[in-house]
Amino acid sequence: MAHVDWQIQGPELSTCNCDWGCPCQFNARPTQGHCRAAVGMRIDRGHFGDVQLDGLHWISLLAWPGAIHEGDGEVLAIVDERADQRQRDAILTILAGEETEPGATIFNVLAATLATVHKPQFLPVEFEVDLESRSGRFAVPGVVEARSEPIRNPVTGEPHYARLVLPHGFEYTEAEFASSTTKASGLIAHDWTQSHGHFAMLHLTPNGPVR
């Protein structure tokens, strides 16, 4: 099927309530039986048809009562308030998994598991990541703040470098694992410290990640 030509490319910071090394990345069940997540991305280069998306951010707050694939989840998308109407529509279309081959992107896969899609919000987004040091942060003042830092060895206190490669992944091909601390209030409330986080350079299109 023909889709609108689009791509988004840039750093992503994903945080969730699982222990370090989120079992879901391996098709195991979430550490605490249910999945909650806060994900943010800066689009360094992106377009949707003739709409340019460079420099814009998006954030998704997500929650499921069990494992993601068991469904019944909810999502709140927050799009950079600097986006104009066409850019907002474009980003929300991508995040909804539309204009995408079935199963090709994480957005399309997750869409099938979401029972509630809250009305999107358009707010200022703060986003800074340093993939080299696995440190980063994104925030929407008053709604969410997610921070990430290296995992520490429990004995030596040294940073623990761990990478996951998913050659057929629908989100990333390679991600750096980290430790996250996230708080969110409002429609989807989050609160965790020293949980799973990962950094990846996303490059997604209607046909999935560019490898």
What's the alpha-carbon Rg for the chain, to the nearest Å?
A: 16
Which residue is associated with the tokens 């997750």? 110
Query: 67 to 96, contacts with other proteins by CB under 8 A?
Result: 67, 69
Contacts of 39 (CB under 8 A, 6+ apart): 12, 13, 14, 15, 59, 60, 62
Q: Which is nearer to other proteins, 109 or 117 (CB)?
A: 109
CA distance 7 to 108: 14
DSSP H/E element including 140: strand 135-140
Q: Which stretch binds other proteins (CB under 8 A): 32-40, 57-65, 133-141, 149-157?
A: 149-157
Q: Which is nearer to other proteins, 46 or 197 (CB)?
A: 197
CA distance 201 to 209: 10
Q: Which is nearer to other proteins, 82 or 163 (CB)?
A: 163
Query: 11 to 70, contacts with other proteins by CB under 8 A?
Result: 19-23, 25-29, 31, 67, 69
Q: Which is nearer to other proteins, 185 or 194 (CB)?
A: 194
CA distance 197 to 17: 9
Q: Which stretch binds other proteins (CB under 8 A): 41-49, 121-129, 135-143, 164-172?
A: 164-172
Compute the least distance from the CB of residue 173 to other proteins, in Å: 10
- DSSP annotation of 148 reads E
CA distance 70 to 27: 12
Contact between 166 and other proteins per CB under 8 A: yes
Compute the least distance from the CB of residue 199 to other proteins, in Å: 14
Contact between 153 and other proteins per CB under 8 A: yes
Binding site for other proteins (CB under 8 A): 19-23, 25-29, 31, 67, 69, 151-155, 160-168, 177, 196
